[in-house]
Amino acid sequence: MASELKPCRRCGIPFKGARREQVYCSRSCASSVRLHRRDLLEGIATQSRLDASGCWSWTGNVNEHGYGRMNLGGAPERAHRVAYRLFVGLIPEGMTIDHLCRNRACVNPQHMEVVTRGENVRRGFEARGYPQCRK
């Protein structure tokens, strides 16, 4: 199976990874980004607050769509995806995270579920009261 070129998370240079989950082009780039689990956990703890609904609402930087943003070794990441990987595990390729609480700023992994993009979109429309398309 031929791998496609993808940009290195540190330097941005396109590379062909031997493994699907490889995100750095070289050992040099990977070792220069020393991200420790404790540091990430501390970042999530200090950049979020507990709401009455149980959401851990991100109080740090958010993007134009309301999702929390973190920089990991110079590469922007959505905070909820980082939290999910830390507390639950890897997000399978081609899948996305659905906020069951409908709060895009929430980083509580108990409020997240891995779903297909189509299912995530359908749930979002349903939550906003749009009727389902009937074929």
Distance in angstroms (rounded) separating the CA atoms of residues 118 and 100:
15
pLDDT digits (tens, 9 = 90+) for 25-40: 877 677 655 556 778 8
Put simply, whether the predicted model's pTM sits higher than 0.85 gets the answer no
Number of domains in the chain: 2
Distance in angstroms (rounded) separating the CA atoms of residues 69 and 84:
14
Same domain, yes or no: 9 and 42: no
Same domain, yes or no: 110 and 65: yes
Same domain, yes or no: 8 and 44: no
pLDDT digits (tens, 9 = 90+) for 86-134: 888 888 888 999 999 999 999 999 999 999 999 999 888 888 777 666 5
Same domain, yes or no: 50 and 23: no
Distance in angstroms (rounded) separating the CA atoms of residues 23 and 17:
8
Same domain, yes or no: 6 and 65: no
